[in-house]
Structure 1
Amino acid sequence: MTWPFENDTSAITKKIAKNDIDKNRVKKVFSLTTIVFATALLMMLIMFESGYETTKDRMAEGQPQVVFYDLSQQQIELLYSEENIESIKVTETENGYDASITIVDATKMTQYGFSSAVDNISSKYDIHHVTRNDLFIDSLPNGGLLNQKNMVLMGVAIFIIIVSALVIYNVFYLSVVNQVRQFGQLRTVGMTQQQTKKIMRYERKFLCRIGVPIGLLIGGLAGYLLQPDGWDWIAAVVWGIIISVIINFVVKVSLNRPTKIALSISPILSSKYMMERFDCKVTNKEKRKLSSLGLAIISITSH
């Protein structure tokens, strides 16, 4: 926010930040590549897993959840009156009747709950030949907090986020260290800490605005090619928004330390740093006494 009595310097800070990005091509390339790579990998992993689960659900739709074989007429009549059975389709065979059924609210059950419901019905009506739809059972949650596959995917996602944060941190840290003199000069002409924050914030937003959409596009395309039958636009949009927020947060956290370093730079500190960087040492031969005679000799020998 700019108060009425303040000068609006947003255009200047944006120009400085843009010139810094254009000048430091290594930082720009490494940062954009890291953001695109991390976003694309996260999007691909999530859309692949989501597409896999959606494919199983779609294949399980319209198929019987359980088939009871070799039933008698009496058992069929009892099954029709069973309150836990949602629908039943009976087929006459040489050995009696086969019944293809669906369980009430089976899609809301866990794998264990569904198996228990089927066992209760089969034992209640003395049914010995039962076949469960394995595809439907696989589409149900296993009842645990996280299954092994989800734990692996979460571990991979966390690893990608950590590596990306470290790369972005190191790139900007080295960039700030190499720009100590520049930040010191800007502080000399009156740049405030708030304006320095705006420069770093603009660079972060600039990189994320370019890198995140490209990464989402690449990751979404890869997820579609891996699981075309399970593609879901709503899931893609929702996960795209979530991943965008995560990546922006990771980049913001990664820039906290470099931003603090940039804010701590003063003109005196930048001069001291440049002397230490170029190893400017003063030898005894270069020392001269600041007396009238010494200054006169310096004046004569300098011409």
Structure 2
Amino acid sequence: MSEKRMTGKMISLMARQSLKTNRMRNIFVSITIVLASALLAAILMFAFGQHKATERELSHAQQVGYYNLTEEQMETLKADERIAFQIQVKTGVLTQLDDCSVLPYYVSEMSDKIRVGEMDRGRLPREADEIALQEELLERMGVTPEIGSKVTIPFYDGNTETFTVSGIVKGGENAKQFPVFFSEKYARSGSQLKNQPYEVYAKLYGAADMHPDDLREAMYLIGSDAGVERAYVSPSRAYFDSRFVSSQDVLVYGLVGGVILLACVLVIYGVFYLSVIGRIRQFGQLRTIGMTKKQMRRFVSREGSLLFVRAAPAGVLIGLVAGYFMVPAGFSIVNTLIIVVFVLAVIYLITMISVRKPAKIAGNVSPMEALRYVPEDGMKKTSAK
């Protein structure tokens, strides 16, 4: 075994022994490291979680909407190869019932790619006299919530029509307004939808790889090619906002994180400084038996790194758990691993910076200087003689 490795092992052993005799210092430093690690990890988990949750939510929403469309414009958009996915929609006029209201809808399909609803059982309507609606609405109307049930709806314009339930849609608990989904046949010829314009909700190919300005222009160009006025092309603000990192959020998180790290530095530095000053005589004795300045600095630094190893993982774990419960919908294993590595690296760096000055003080202690730091009890004994 080389002399360098033996020296390193000796310093590590001395540092471990030193930690056993300075419990109060260890407690203060460990608590500081745990708190700093936990707070930093929790802040990052919250920030990353919010972004991830928004990203997941928007993965089920359109990137652009085209409104007030004729059937010809709708068909042109339907055939556009630049659109990766789209649904065609019609929306009727709200009708007020006794204790709730209903809104007629036509959607070409229910998909997870652009979510406007989710089927619980059954299917979307195919015939002009079929509808799909929520179980809660059926119960309020006094209709058995089953496929095949007959529902009579008195519309706002005085028309009263009877339909057969083809599907039950999820949701609607405690709602005041309910969507009622009709078939394509009804959308073309039914009294509540035939005169309503079409809408198209779409996602574009390669949107994630395009610059936001280029993507927005591509959306307008697709609309223009279909004869849609610019005023009726609506890029999703939520989608475009998600493409940018808010400078205000970065500033807030940065300031909070900076304050936490600064407090961590000051506490660890202060505790180690007082610890070194209190052990001047011990360091002088170590210099007397041959320890170099570099070895003395390594000795104190090793104490700091050992305390980091003991305290930081616990703090990070606490922060991860707290951050998860703040935004559970934004949890991501990849983001969590990145946060763990980042927080451990930052806290280790902060710990080493904090003990650097005290370690330097310890390394500069000479055997002669150590003699000046005579314990107070020893001074009393000398004067008594």
Shorter-normalised TM-score: what interval?
A: 0.7 to 0.9
Q: Is the 8 A contact 1:43 1:240 kept in 2?
A: yes
The residue type paired with residue 137 of structure 1 is F
Q: Is the 8 A contact 1:110 1:141 kept in 2?
A: no
In structure 2, the residue matched to 1:148 is 248
Give the whole-Å Cα distance in 2 for the aligned partners of 1:221 and 1:7: 39
Q: 2:228 aligns with which of 114, 123, 126?
A: 126
Q: How big is the shift at 1:19?
A: 2.6
Structure 1 gap segments, 5+ residues each? 281-285, 287-301
Q: Is the 8 A contact 2:88 2:200 kept in 1?
A: yes
In structure 2, the residue matched to 1:8 is 6
In structure 2, the residue matched to 1:137 is 240
In structure 2, the residue matched to 1:214 is 314
Q: 1:239 aligns with which of 300, 315, 339?
A: 339
In structure 2, the residue matched to 1:263 is 363
- Determine if the alignment matches structure 1 residue 98 to structure 2 residue 199: yes
The residue type paired with residue 244 of structure 2 is P
The residue type paired with residue 32 of structure 1 is S
Q: Is the 8 A contact 1:85 1:104 kept in 2?
A: yes
Higher strand share: 2
Q: Is the 8 A contact 1:56 1:136 kept in 2?
A: no
Deviation beyond 6 Å, 4+ runs, structure 1: none
Give the whole-Å Cα distance in 2 for the aligned partners of 1:83 and 1:249: 52
- Determine if the alignment matches structure 1 residue 41 to structure 2 residue 144: no
Q: How big is the shift at 1:133?
A: 3.9
State TM-score, norm by structure 2. Answer: 0.64
Paired residue total: 277
Q: Is the 8 A contact 1:111 1:141 kept in 2?
A: no
In structure 2, the residue matched to 1:29 is 27
Q: How big is the shift at 1:248?
A: 0.8
Q: Aligned pair in 2 of structure 1 residues 7, 126: CA closer, same or farther (>3 Å)?
A: closer
Give the whole-Å Cα distance in 2 for the aligned partners of 1:179 and 1:265: 10
State TM-score, norm by structure 1. Answer: 0.80
Give the whole-Å Cα distance in 2 for the aligned partners of 1:106 and 1:191: 63
In structure 1, the residue matched to 2:353 is 253
Secondary structure of the corresponding residue to residue 6 of structure 2: coil
Q: How big is the shift at 1:164?
A: 0.8
Give the whole-Å Cα distance in 2 for the aligned partners of 1:221 and 1:103: 37
Q: 1:200 aligns with which of 290, 300, 303?
A: 300
Secondary structure of the corresponding residue to residue 101 of structure 1: strand
Q: How big is the shift at 1:109?
A: 4.7
Deviation digits for residues 153-212 of structure 1 (CA, Å, limit 9, x no counterpart): 112112211221111111111110110011111222223334323322321221111111
Q: Is the 8 A contact 1:110 1:140 kept in 2?
A: no
Which of 37-46 and 146-155 deviates more? 146-155
Give the whole-Å Cα distance in 2 for the aligned partners of 1:247 and 1:115: 42
Which of 41-50 and 150-159 deviates more? 150-159
Which of 186-195 and 246-255 deviates more? 186-195
Q: How big is the shift at 1:244?
A: 0.9
- Structure 1 vs Structure 2: percent identity of aligned residues? 30
Structure 2 gap segments, 5+ residues each? 90-186, 188-192
Higher helix share: 1
In structure 1, the residue matched to 2:273 is 173
Secondary structure of the corresponding residue to residue 8 of structure 1: helix
Deviation digits for residues 231-289 of structure 1 (CA, Å, limit 9, x no counterpart): 011110122111111111111111111111101111101112448x89x7xxxxx9xxx
Secondary structure of the corresponding residue to residue 141 of structure 1: coil
Q: How does 1:151-166 map to 2 (within 5 A)?
A: 151-166=251-266
